[in-house]
Structure formats: structure tokens, C-alpha cells
């Protein structure tokens, strides 16, 4: 039986002090959150127009206190009439603040600084000259009054002058690339507010291209905000299990759509740890799975983890519904709607079910424009994000919705996920339908499934599988002339896609050795009936996406 001290410690840890990032729609907003969490501080992303009173309550709270605020970047200019702007009174909340890029420009703009409109834009790596300060502490040798590092810039407007601020950094094109102010001159009701130090940086310390960017963020979190280390994967797992227990209660029952991918598998394991056999996993064979995936999933979760499983063979239903559907977004919606219908059917058979669990992760929500920013554009819908109808009548549990893919893998490892699932490449919710361009047919699925399996086998054989983020084959309607035996023949074109990434928000194609590509090509044309040509995709994200559909 746990002792009283351990119980009190766990109770205290449920409410964590935090730093919040106000999201103005910048492409790196969630990357800021990730970096802060990697540095050990629990961090949340909030909308830029979060009510001031809510922030005040968070700052004054005894537990779960907001210790600092970071203002993110934005695609907008502070001069645009409809640009996102928070309540300027946050500068008087008696709490440390760090403005990044647009956030820094906004602080300068509302405090009388001069923000030039795109006359000296900077994009890419730039040398920053800086003066000694708490923000840049430890970036130079002891006793030095300043230094220089390479930083990542991505901005059009420039802070040209900021009277009343200490200028602690500049570049060739940005005379105010970093600043510090201790008193905010914003007058709320005629009263000048007093505030701890407010910093602004024109560059992006959260991206890996900025030298010692983690150290700059570390200084803000620990030296300036006075945070304590309170976030690890272990603590996330522990807290999430307790959160699920609390949400579901003593009698609640949950169904989870299990696909065999890392996201849904991790979700299932988390919930199983929390409520045991009150979780029922519904595994639907939609005919869009990878080669051998059905057998692997059933063996892993039903036999190894002893989970309650319902298997549904719905291959014919999905293929029938997808017949004649060519548009990528339309295919995703068809698959999502049918999944929901099947969940409804199976839930009704199970009796009293209260919750539906989904393996939604943050990149899903960004691409579906479901993140906190109201300024995001939708790239594509995800069946586990936007297609859940209210008619389902179940409450939603999304325990990993704020994690990136690499963080999900860390959680899965902590939970004891077997290597064959832990180390497998990401797989899209719509399955192979996301890799079949145009109408989904049995023949195209066959080619896509077999060719993708060969791609993975050759990567494993050559030692490249664990070095890349994702690898698969793509099949469309295009055909090309080939020579099979002594006869000319028309056959399908297969495109190989292999990318490297860290969190799936950006990606680049992998420069595989020609020998590996040659082996893939030979095997695909020799072993997959009806294929004459093999090509290699060399587009990065952006402008492309990782999956073609």
C-alpha cells in the first residue's frame, strides 16, 4: 500500500506550473511548445486572443501557475488591419514575456517602436551579434561582454528602432534583432504597469538552424521565469493514465478504433493501462492495410496484451463505397464516414459504451486546421479529426492529441510496445487509399501493397529502414511502355517515396544510394505483376505533403 507522502506527491504533481505560448498562427508555434517540453517544462499552446482574465487566473493560481508567456510568430504584419493581436495588457501581468519574430514586433509596435514594412526582409541563416544578458547567458566565454552566433530568420517586417528598450542583439539587416525592457509603458486606465523583464527576439530560437537556440529558451524558462523541471515522457504517461481514469470514471466503457499504426496502438495501450478490460478495441480490416498487418495486429493486442478485441471484415464494404471516387479529399471523407458507421454498429452490439478513443496527434490537427490558431489553413482532413458526427453519441478521448510522432514513439516505448509496431513507419488513417492516386481499385491496391512491402524489405536489408522517417510506394492511373520478355507491354508506373523528418511538419526526400534504389526497382518490376516503370519522388514538404493524397 503506498505511503501517505507518495500519495501527496502524486496529487501535487497533477497540477503543473507551466509556460504558455500564445499562438498568432506562426508555422513554428507548436515547435516552441515542443522545445520547451524537451527542456523539461510543461508548456501549452493557447489562442492569441485568450481572455486576459483567464491568463490572470492562471498566473495567480497556487498550483498549475503560469510562470511565463511566449508570443509566437505569425504570417501577418503588425500593420495589417486584420492581423492577430492579443490584449496589450498582458505586458502588465507581472510575469516574464518572450516575443519571437512577430511576437517581438508586436511588443515593439505597441510600445512606440518603429516596425518597418518589409524593406529589409531576412530569411534563412543570419549572423547575430549580441550583448551579455540573462537571455544570452552562457553563449560566450566567461567574462565576455557579447558574442556572435548564427540564427534562423524568417520575417518581412523589421524593428527599425525601439526607444526605451535595451538593444541586446542586431544583425546586418535588423538593427533591433533582440531587446529587453523592464517596464511596460502601456497605460491601462491611466496607470503605468510594472512588469518583470520582457524580451523580444526577431529570430527563431526554437528551430534547429539557430545555434544554441535551446540554451536561449533554457535561459528564459529557468533563469528568467524561474521554472522547475516538471515534464518528461514518464510524467506524461503517468499523468495521462490518471487523467483517463478520472474522465472515464469507475464504470465508463471505451471503444477504440485500432488500425495497427503507432498512434492508435499507443492510444489503446494508454487506455488499457488506465481502465483494463473496460476498453474494447475495434479492428476493422478495410482492405486498405499493409501486407500482413491484420495478422500482426491481432496477435499483438489480442494474444500478447490480452485486450478485448472485435474484428470486423469490411473489405468489400469499403471498396464498394470507394468505387468511382477519385478526389483525395472525397476518399478520406468516405473512409471516415464508413469507419464511424462501423463504430456505431459495433458499439450498439457491445451495449453501454460511453467513450470513443482516437489516436489523433498534433500534425493531424494542424493539417485539418483544428489547432488553436484561427489563422491556419486546412491542408487535408483526417478521418479521426473532422469526420466524427455528433450522432455517434459518444464522448471523445484523444490522449495523444498534443504530441508529435516522435513523442508518441517515446510514449509507446515507455508503455512496452513491441518493436515490430514501435519501430514501424507511420501509416495514414485512410490506409493505402492515401497512396493510390485516383480511384481505389483492387488491382491498384495489390500493386501498392506489394510494392510498398518490397520497399520496406529492401530498406531493412540495406540497413536504411531505421534511418528514414517513412517509405512506401505510390500508384496512380498512369501507364508506361515496357518490355516483358520479348514483347512490348503497357504497365503501371510505381513511385517510391522515402522521406526524412523529425515531427512530420516538414520533410525532405532521402538521398538513397543508387544500389538500394536499383534493387527496389528490379524487384518491383520483376515481382509485382503489371508494373513496367519505377520512379523516385524528390519533392520536399513543403511544398509537397508526405503522403500524396
Query: Is 206 considered catalytic here?
Result: yes
Choose the catalytic residue: 30, 36, 86, 101: 101
> Are the folds of 233-422 and 435-536 the same?
no
Virtual torsion, Cα 394, 400, 405, 408, nearest 10 deg? -120
Q: Please tell me the distance from the alpha carbon of residue 426 to that of residue 470, in angstroms, as a whole number.
A: 6
**Strand locations in 41-121 (E):** 43-47, 66-71, 97-100, 114-116
Q: What's 435-536's CATH class?
A: alpha beta
Query: Is 204 considered catalytic here?
Result: yes
Q: What's the CATH number of domain 233-422, 3.30.390.50, 3.10.20.600, 3.40.50.300, 3.40.50.620? A: 3.40.50.620
Choose the catalytic residue: 36, 86, 131, 206: 206
Record the cell numbers describing residue 483, joined without a space. Answer: 518490355
Count helices and strands in the chain by DSSP H and E runs: 15, 22
**Strand locations in 209-307 (E):** 254-258, 279-285
Helical packing angle, 233-248 and 4-13, nearest 10°: 90
Sign for the pseudo-dihedral over CA of 305, 425, 336, 249: positive
Q: What's the CATH number of domain 17-224, 3.90.550.10, 3.30.1220.10, 3.40.50.11030, 3.40.50.880? A: 3.40.50.880
Record the cell numbers describing residue 406, joined without a space. Answer: 516522435
Choose the catalytic residue: 30, 155, 204, 382: 204
Sign for the pseudo-dihedral over CA of 224, 230, 236, 242: negative
Helical packing angle, 233-248 and 262-275, nearest 10°: 60
Q: Which residues contact 63 (CB under 8 A, 6 or more apart)?
A: 12, 15, 17
* Residue boundaries of the structural domains of the chain: 17-224, 233-422, 435-536
Which candidate, 225, 222, 192, 176, places its Cα nearest to that of 69?
225
The answer to whether the pTM exceeds 0.85 is no
Exposed / middle / buried, residue 51 (Cβ in 10 Å: 0-12, 13-18, 19+): exposed
Query: Is 101 considered catalytic here?
Result: yes
Question: Tens-digit pLDDT profile for the chain (549 aa)?
Answer: 334 343 234 334 457 789 999 999 887 888 899 899 999 999 988 899 989 999 988 898 877 899 999 999 888 888 888 888 887 888 888 899 999 999 999 999 888 888 887 665 666 788 899 998 999 998 876 555 678 899 988 767 888 899 889 999 998 888 999 999 975 444 333 333 444 789 999 999 998 888 999 999 999 999 999 999 988 899 889 989 999 999 999 999 999 988 888 899 999 999 999 999 899 999 999 999 999 999 988 988 888 888 999 999 999 999 999 999 999 999 999 998 898 888 788 888 888 888 889 888 876 665 554 444 444 433 344 445 444 435 567 888 999 987 877 889 999 999 999 888 888 898 888 999 999 999 999 999 999 999 999 999 999 999 999 999 999 999 999 999 987 666 688 899 999 999 998 767 678 999 999 999 999 999 999 999 999 999 999 998 878 889 998
Amino acid at each position: 500500500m503506498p505511503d501517505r507522502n507518495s500519495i501527496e506527491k502524486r496529487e501535487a504533481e497533477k497540477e503543473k506550473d507551466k509556460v504558455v505560448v500564445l499562438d498568432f498562427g506562426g508555422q513554428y508555434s507548436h515547435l516552441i511548445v515542443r522545445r520547451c517540453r524537451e527542456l523539461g517544462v510543461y508548456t501549452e499552446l493557447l489562442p492569441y486572443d485568450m481572455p486576459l482574465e483567464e491568463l490572470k487566473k492562471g498566473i495567480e493560481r497556487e498550483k498549475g501557475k503560469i510562470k511565463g508567456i511566449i508570443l509566437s510568430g505569425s504570417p501577418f504584419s503588425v500593420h495589417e488591419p486584420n492581423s492577430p493581436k492579443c490584449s496589450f495588457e498582458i505586458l502588465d501581468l507581472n510575469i516574464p514575456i518572450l516575443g519571437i519574430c512577430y511576437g517581438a514586433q508586436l511588443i515593439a509596435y505597441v510600445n512606440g517602436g518603429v516596425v518597418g514594412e518589409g524593406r529589409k526582409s531576412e530569411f534563412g541563416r543570419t549572423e547575430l551579434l549580441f550583448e551579455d544578458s540573462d537571455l544570452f547567458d552562457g553563449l560566450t566565454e566567461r567574462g565576455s561582454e557579447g558574442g556572435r552566433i548564427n540564427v534562423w530568420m524568417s520575417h518581412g517586417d523589421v524593428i527599425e528602432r525601439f526607444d526605451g528598450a535595451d538593444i541586446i542583439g542586431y544583425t546586418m539587416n535588423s538593427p533591433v534583432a533582440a531587446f529587453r525592457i523592464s517596464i511596460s509603458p502601456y497605460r491601462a486606465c491611466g496607470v503605468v504597469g510594472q512588469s518583470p523583464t520582457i524580451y523580444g527576439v526577431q529570430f527563431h530560437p526554437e528551430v534547429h538552424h539557430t545555434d544554441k537556440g535551446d540554451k536561449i529558451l533554457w535561459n528564459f524558462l529557468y533563469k528568467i521565469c524561474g521554472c522547475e523541471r516538471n515534464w518528461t515522457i514518464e510524467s506524461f504517461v503517468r499523468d495521462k493514465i490518471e487523467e483517463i481514469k478520472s474522465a472515464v470514471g469507475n464504470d465508463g466503457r471505451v471503444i477504440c478504433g485500432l488500425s495497427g499504426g503507432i498512434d492508435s496502438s499507443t492510444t489503446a495501450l494508454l487506455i488499457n493501462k488506465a481502465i483494463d478490460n473496460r476498453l474494447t478495441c475495434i479492428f476493422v480490416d478495410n482492405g486498405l492495410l499493409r501486407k500482413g498487418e491484420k495478422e500482426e495486429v491481432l496477435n499483438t493486442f489480442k494474444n500478447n496484451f490480452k485486450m478485448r478485441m472485435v474484428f470486423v471484415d469490411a473489405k468489400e464494404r469499403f471498396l464498394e463505397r470507394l468505387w468511382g471516387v477519385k478526389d483525395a479529399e472525397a476518399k478520406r471523407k468516405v473512409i471516415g464516414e464508413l469507419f464511424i458507421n462501423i463504430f456505431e454498429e459495433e458499439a450498439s452490439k457491445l451495449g453501454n459504451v460511453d467513450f470513443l478513443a482516437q489516436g489523433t496527434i498534433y500534425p493531424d490537427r494542424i493539417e485539418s486546421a483544428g489547432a488553436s490558431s484561427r489563422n491556419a489553413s486546412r491542408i487535408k482532413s483526417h478521418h479521426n479529426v473532422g469526420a466524427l458526427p455528433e450522432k455517434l453519441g459518444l464522448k471523445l478521448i484523444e490522449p495523444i492529441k498534443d504530441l508529435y510522432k516522435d513523442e508518441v514513439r517515446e510514449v509507446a516505448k515507455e508503455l512496452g510496445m513491441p518493436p515490430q509496431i514501435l519501430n514501424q513507419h507511420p501509416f495514414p488513417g485512410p490506409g493505402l487509399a492515401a497512396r493510390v492516386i485516383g480511384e481505389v481499385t483492387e488491382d491498384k491496391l495489390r500493386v501498392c501493397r506489394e510494392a510498398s512491402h518490397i520497399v520496406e524489405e529492401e530498406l531493412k536489408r540495406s540497413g536504411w529502414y531505421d534511418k528514414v522517417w517513412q517509405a512506401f510506394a505510390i500508384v496512380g492511373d498512369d501507364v508506361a511502355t515496357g518490355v516483358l520478355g520479348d514483347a512490348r507491354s503497357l504497365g503501371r508506373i510505381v513511385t517510391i517515396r522515402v522521406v526524412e523528418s523529425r515531427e512530420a511538419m516538414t520533410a525532405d526526400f532521402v538521398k538513397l544510394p543508387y544500389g538500394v534504389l536499383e534493387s527496389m526497382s528490379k524487384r518491383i518490376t520483376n515481382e509485382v505483376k503489371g508494373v513496367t516503370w519505377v520512379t523516385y519522388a524528390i519533392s520536399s514538404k513543403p511544398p509537397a505533403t508526405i503522403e500524396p493524397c
